[in-house]
Structure 1
Amino acid sequence: SERAVWAAFMLGRLHAIEERRAEAIASFTKARALAVSGAPDPLGLAVASYGEQARLMLSGQSGPCNWSDFNEGRDCGETIPPADFKQAIRLYAEQAARGSTNAQDSLTALAAWSLGHADISAALIDDPVAQRLLVAYALARVGDIAEGSGNGDSYYDPSAPNSGSSGYPDAARSAKVKPNSVLVTLVDALKRRGLEKIEGADRVAALAYRTGRYDLAATLANRQETALSWWVRAKLALRKGDTAAAVQAYARAAQAFPRNDASLDPSNASLLMGEQGVLTLSRGQYVEALAQFHQAASDSARQSRGGYYGDYAYANDMAYVAERVLTTDELKTYVDAHAPASPMPAPEAVAKAVQKQGGGAQSVRWVAVGLSAITVEDNLRQLLARRLVRDGRVEEALPYFPDDRDERFIQSTYDAEGHEVPAGWRMRAKAREYGQALDRGQHAWRASSRAQGWYEAAVIARRQGMEIMGYEQGPDYAVYGGSYPGGAGRGMGMYGNEDKPLPDNPQARAQADLPGPLVTDGERQRYAATEAKPYKRFHYRDIAADYVMKSADALPARSQAFAAVLCQGVNFVYYDQPRAEQLYLRYVKEGAAVPFSADFGQNCVEPDFAAAARFPYVQAWRTTRRWVAQHRALSAALLLAAVAGAGFGVAQWRRRRRAAKTVA
């Protein structure tokens, strides 16, 4: 019958309401058997029957216990017979294995409640499925005890220094966090039952490691050859200071990927690769460390389907090594070999998708990203491009900026009404303009042309500096669009504090930013060598101010252009009073009065370089006219003498010419 599964399921529900448990179980079992034999089940009632049957098992002396009883920590479950409790867990596990999210929620509630009752959890761990559930929940959801918190389940900020990657308090990261007694009790119960009866020794080894039972962790980890067991061995080796053994253990653990042996979920696989990168970095293998962080970031981004920003942690680790540890040439070689650009979506496809969605110009970028996601590799290429620009290798940088036709990378700006609109410039084209302007500033023949080149480079550095030369991490934080003065990479931040002022040289800052035994002197030296110059947030604004000074150097001091470029320079760094004063005082000392001097640095005009080119000749003519007007008699005498001298010279020339003809 087309409704046979439905009928059996509803009979089971009726028997359950009437508290005829045996009859209800028989009906639910029949519903599943019918579905397995091919009877139609469009509503998925066969899978739902596992959960209905499991609920029948969760009944104590005071009656049936529901989800809220377990989720809210009530004592209803204390009188449920252990055999029934274990059977309920097995049924929910079967249901969850068939894709039921409700079953997953039920298992979560049962595990959390059971671990809060030591006698119940001790009675459950002789069942393989229940034991696996409790251990898995303990590893994933039970945090340690932080000072001021009542339990270990309270969620922590994942960025906090005493918080693990899951966001829960982690005793391994801070003396202010103590191991959770729930975890200690569970490990003790498993140990008392006998190591030979432990299901999933690698997971219990990880749990033992978390609670500080390192000998037990080693014993259990050595019983299996899984990625997780090798990971535990690697961490134990690091505790003993045996880095060689740790390297080998991490390598064995990583061999399980991309063929995962199921002992780790994908997010933990990324964490494993990240930890391996830290160890590799500590051994001075910088390019290899970048490769491992690159893999962790790429894997994490694919899992989250969030592109580059799927997981900031691994992407930021990768960016730190790429930007502050590798040399530019090492990074370029790596990118050329391992970081290809993602395919650009066809403009026709983007236009069609935008039209279909009815979006405006501001939606083009997001439509394009939807057609072809921005990858970790795309952003690594841009990091390299900006680094090459900072090094003055602008032509080499251009291929690593996105194609100007690629609408995924269009920058945004805002119109007068505050609406976001696409910017009219593109990164690669603007970087090319910047390089051309620098070339004119350095090599143009005419002084006014050099001044114009420096000024144009200054304007680009100020307005598009973040995009074409900003540091991915400190001090500019291009990773966040410059919106925050920290939060990525190593460093004390740009401002220091009253108790710990910012060191005053790169080497001292490297020592302060990179403490600890896992950092080599070589890493600190590279970190110091790649520091921003100047070491200031939005450092490219100061570079723009430097170019303004170079432009002023090539201009006549009394020209309009001289005053105008210095005015623009003050506007570039108005927030930095000492630097703004330096530019303004130069104008006061050398420049001429101009109409915009009253609010210098606020309402500036564009410099007139053509007038500046004519300025020396105009000034010479004006000076001559002024002198003649003041010395009329002397001027007339000098003019007469000049005319007479010219006449005498012409006469002499003619006389010599006639003499030459006579001789001939």
Structure 2
Amino acid sequence: MRAVVIAAACFLIPHARACGPDFPNAYLAEGSVSLLSAPEGYFAAEIEKIAPRKKAAAADSGAALVIAANKAKRENELTETGVLRIELARRGYAQERIDALAGELESARAVIFAKDWASPPVFSGDMPAEFALYLNGAFAYWKGDHETADNRWKTLLALPADERRHYTVNAAYMLGRLCVPDAQGEGIPERQSMPVEAMREMLHGVKWFQQTRDAAEAGFDDISDLAQASLGWEARAHFFNGYSTEAIHLYLRQHAAGDRRGAVLSLRAVARDAFESAESEDGAKHLRQLARDEKSRRVLTLYLLARFGLFPWFDDEAGKKLDRQSRIWAGILDEAELRDVPDTDRLAWLAYQAGYFDLAAQWLKSASASSVPANWIRAKLALRSGDAARAGGLLEKVTSSPELTGGARPVAWADLGRVRMGAGKYAGALDAFLRGGHWQDCAYIAERVLVLDELVAFVDKHCPQQTGTDERQFFSVAEEREEQDEKALRNELRHLLARRLARANKPEDARAYFPEKLRQIYAAYVDDVRAGFNGERAPGERAKAFWNAAASLHENGMALLGTELAPDYSIWGGNFEWSPIAGARRDKLRREGGLGAPTADELQRVEAHAVPRKRFHYRYRAADLGWWAASLMPNDSDETARMLNTAGGWIKKRDPGEANRFYRALVIRCPNTVLGKQAAARNWFPE
């Protein structure tokens, strides 16, 4: 069932995300290629599913006691000297003698740390043998005298069991370390960097690492958690000798034992090494062997899945190399004719990523109906076949699964939002983007696509008024909180609706959706505007009301009337003019067509819900209110001059032409005021 590889031009290219000062993703600005791309893999999260951390069995009381004792010693930071004092007290030593022997041990440790190789440790005859032997071995080890270290630690292990309770684990572990050299940097260096004899010598350490774990399990002290560490070192020995399967199994055990970071780094290194030679005959043979082992197969598959999307757009060679490796691995897995294996969903995922769509579909037949990766890939295949309705249903299963966690969650919701958008289910798309934490996409739908009644109905149903938000700066949730904070986004959507209603001159409706403090500010602003237009009031009262409204709007205009996206960009606090969605959908995506393209209905809605043309339009509105206030004031009044100078100053830098009428009124109406004279002298507003 060999799959036909799609043309290189159509290959699933990892897509770059927006970059800049905290610019979030804008999925609605992306075309069909990204929607059809396989989801990214998350290596560490997937390894956690293969090798979850083990818990001590409740029934095994002996093992539980050993684990608890070692844990308590670690948490209490019990030192070697502390252990010695406890042992000496158990043996009945007098306190004076305990103090003296503890001093000898501290002196020996100081010599080792100081690298004073001319002064080997000297211990009294009544020092417990395991302490003297272990410290003398450590001195020799760090001095570089490995033969002596080997002799001391083996002598320690030959003591009766009840005389080596504290250092059996340490001695066995260090005998293994004598055979396995330190790593150079993080992960595992290339095997080619070591002589063959040195690699073979590493295998001699395997028995000691196994003995380390046996001793810890038998109840010997393991304060430093060396049983866990021994797994990684034993794996290293196997890996350097070409036994990758054994290495992978041990690293997975290391992960389950609690060393997640070290195990994940090492598993990546083993997988990377296996694929580096994938294009050679020997390398392909090695991969075929790994494909037959369930755990190795799963790790290598996850490694490739997690590599997609990691390379920058300019690193084309790295992307092509990964492409070739994925195709080779998918082909090897196909040739293996795997049946009834637990990871067919991941195999389908890889096949899809590599462009083997028929092979992906074949593996999906045996994948679980509840598997998140399987349903996600099923959705992608449905989209490719033109069945958007089925894709939407599958993505709903994906997003509702408790197995969808971490970085995959917002991406899945974005996929569902885009599918719903293409189906004209705009409210459903808004809900998906909200749940995924994609505020820029939410803002586009709420501000430009939904009619006001639809947005009001959505907010009333999904965004209840929240308390405790009054201390916020009402600009951009993206600046203040994590995008994934869904509650914050729902609060922000209420605020967006309030501003949209206010711009639509529906003040009574708008008031209910503003946060409480802004609600009071907005209500006062509306009352002042109405008072200014009330012809039954005295001119002075009207002028004061207009001016109060002008000053309030100048100070709070973004929060009261600003658009979330263009032209005001409240999303960025007005600091940046950037939002690619509307332009991309109107031009590029419309021309490209396909799954990422907007529908005719969407474009008609966007045209019908036009936003103000001028950026910071509310400043012009504030200036107009100031103009009306000044028009009700007497000529040659210092207060009139102040109003004209201030209101014109709000727009003079951004729009000198529009501000010119304020300057002219200032010099014509108030020529004898200080401000009027200064303006006339400068031929512009006073500084």
The answer to whether TM tops 0.5 is: yes
| CA distance 1:581–1:123, change in 2 (3 Å) | farther
Q: Is the 8 A contact 1:342 1:375 kept in 2?
A: no
| CA distance 1:150–1:451, change in 2 (3 Å) | same
Partner residue of 1:633? none
**For the residues of structure 2 that align with 1:185 and 1:369, how far apart are their CA atoms?**
43
**For the residues of structure 1 that align with 2:366 and 2:662, how far apart are their CA atoms?**
71
Partner residue of 1:433? 524
**For the residues of structure 2 that align with 1:22 and 1:510, how far apart are their CA atoms?**
64
| CA distance 1:532–1:185, change in 2 (3 Å) | same
2:236 corresponds to 1:55: yes
Partner residue of 1:273? 413
Partner SS, residue 675 of structure 2: coil
Partner residue of 2:55? none
How far off is 1:573 after superposition? Answer: 1.2
Match of 1:317 among 438, 441, 456: 441
CA distances 1:99-128 after superposition (whole Å, capped 9, x unpaired): 321111111222223222212544432222
Q: Which amino acid aligns with 2:376?
A: W
How far off is 1:559 after superposition? Answer: 5.3
| CA distance 1:557–1:520, change in 2 (3 Å) | farther
2:44 corresponds to 1:44: no
Q: Which runs of 5+ in 2 are unaligned?
A: 1-164, 182-197, 472-479
Match of 1:328 among 452, 456, 465: 452
**For the residues of structure 1 that align with 2:392 and 2:615, how far apart are their CA atoms?**
38
Partner SS, residue 528 of structure 2: helix
| CA distance 1:205–1:579, change in 2 (3 Å) | farther
Q: Is the 8 A contact 1:442 1:450 kept in 2?
A: yes
2:305 corresponds to 1:139: yes
CA distances 1:482-531 after superposition (whole Å, capped 9, x unpaired): 11110464337xxxxxxxxxxxxxxxx95678664542233223323333
Partner residue of 2:154? none
Q: Which amino acid aligns with 1:335?
A: V
Partner residue of 1:208? 351
Partner residue of 1:344? 468
CA distances 1:229-276 after superposition (whole Å, capped 9, x unpaired): 1111211221222222222222333342xx21xxx5432122111111
Match of 2:270 among 106, 110, 113: 110
Q: Is the 8 A contact 2:169 2:212 kept in 1?
A: yes
Partner residue of 2:491? 378
Partner SS, residue 43 of structure 1: coil
Q: Which amino acid aligns with 1:565?
A: M
Partner residue of 1:577? 656
**For the residues of structure 1 that align with 2:530 and 2:220, how far apart are their CA atoms?**
78
CA distances 1:185-204 after superposition (whole Å, capped 9, x unpaired): 22222222224386622222
TM norm structure 2: 0.62
Partner residue of 2:646? 568
Match of 1:152 among 318, 326, 340: 318
Partner residue of 1:32? 213
Q: Is the 8 A contact 2:637 2:673 kept in 1?
A: no
The 5 A counterparts of 1:190-209 are 190-196=333-339, 200-209=343-352
Partner SS, residue 344 of structure 1: coil
How far off is 1:6 after superposition? Answer: 3.3
CA distances 1:551-587 after superposition (whole Å, capped 9, x unpaired): 3454456655554433223211122233223443555
Q: Which amino acid aligns with 1:149?
A: D
Partner residue of 1:648? none
Match of 2:375 among 218, 230, 251: 230
Q: Which amino acid aligns with 2:451?
A: T
Q: Is the 8 A contact 1:510 1:525 kept in 2?
A: no
**For the residues of structure 1 that align with 2:546 and 2:604, how far apart are their CA atoms?**
32
| CA distance 1:213–1:145, change in 2 (3 Å) | farther
Q: Which amino acid aligns with 1:182?
A: Q
**For the residues of structure 1 that align with 2:204 and 2:630, how far apart are their CA atoms?**
95
2:678 corresponds to 1:595: no
The 5 A counterparts of 1:88-103 are 88-100=247-259, 101-103=261-263
Partner residue of 1:247? 392
| CA distance 1:539–1:42, change in 2 (3 Å) | farther
Partner residue of 1:486? 578
Q: Which amino acid aligns with 2:649?
A: N
The 5 A counterparts of 1:414-563 are 427-443=518-534, 445-487=537-579, 489-491=581-583, 516-517=593-594, 518-533=597-612, 535-555=613-633, 560-563=638-641
| CA distance 1:345–1:569, change in 2 (3 Å) | closer
| CA distance 1:235–1:203, change in 2 (3 Å) | same
| CA distance 1:187–1:345, change in 2 (3 Å) | same
Partner SS, residue 152 of structure 1: helix
How far off is 1:88 after superposition? Answer: 0.9
Q: Is the 8 A contact 2:379 2:392 kept in 1?
A: yes
Match of 1:293 among 426, 433, 438: 433
2:203 corresponds to 1:125: no
Partner residue of 1:183? 326
**For the residues of structure 2 that align with 1:108 and 1:458, how far apart are their CA atoms?**
62
How far off is 1:473 after superposition? Answer: 1.7
**For the residues of structure 2 that align with 1:394 and 1:38, how far apart are their CA atoms?**
75
Q: Is the 8 A contact 1:201 1:221 kept in 2?
A: yes
Partner residue of 1:284? 424
Q: Is the 8 A contact 1:190 1:198 kept in 2?
A: no
Q: Is the 8 A contact 2:444 2:581 kept in 1?
A: yes
TM norm structure 1: 0.64
CA distances 1:398-441 after superposition (whole Å, capped 9, x unpaired): 4544444xxxxxxxxxxxxxxxxxxxxxx444333322322222
Q: Is the 8 A contact 2:648 2:659 kept in 1?
A: yes
Partner SS, residue 151 of structure 1: helix
Larger relative contact order (C-alpha < 8 A, sep ≥ 6)?
2
Partner residue of 2:477? none
**For the residues of structure 1 that align with 2:405 and 2:686, how far apart are their CA atoms?**
59
Partner residue of 1:607? none
**For the residues of structure 2 that align with 1:284 and 1:254, how far apart are their CA atoms?**
20
Partner residue of 2:143? none
CA distances 1:361-408 after superposition (whole Å, capped 9, x unpaired): xxxxxxx999xx87323322332333333233445444544444xxxx
2:360 corresponds to 1:217: yes
2:174 corresponds to 1:10: yes
Q: Is the 8 A contact 1:458 1:545 kept in 2?
A: yes
The CA RMSD measured in Å over matched residues stands at: 3.6
**For the residues of structure 2 that align with 1:10 and 1:188, how far apart are their CA atoms?**
43
| Further displaced range: 275-284 or 448-457 | 448-457
**For the residues of structure 1 that align with 2:232 and 2:461, how far apart are their CA atoms?**
52
Q: Is the 8 A contact 2:589 2:598 kept in 1?
A: no
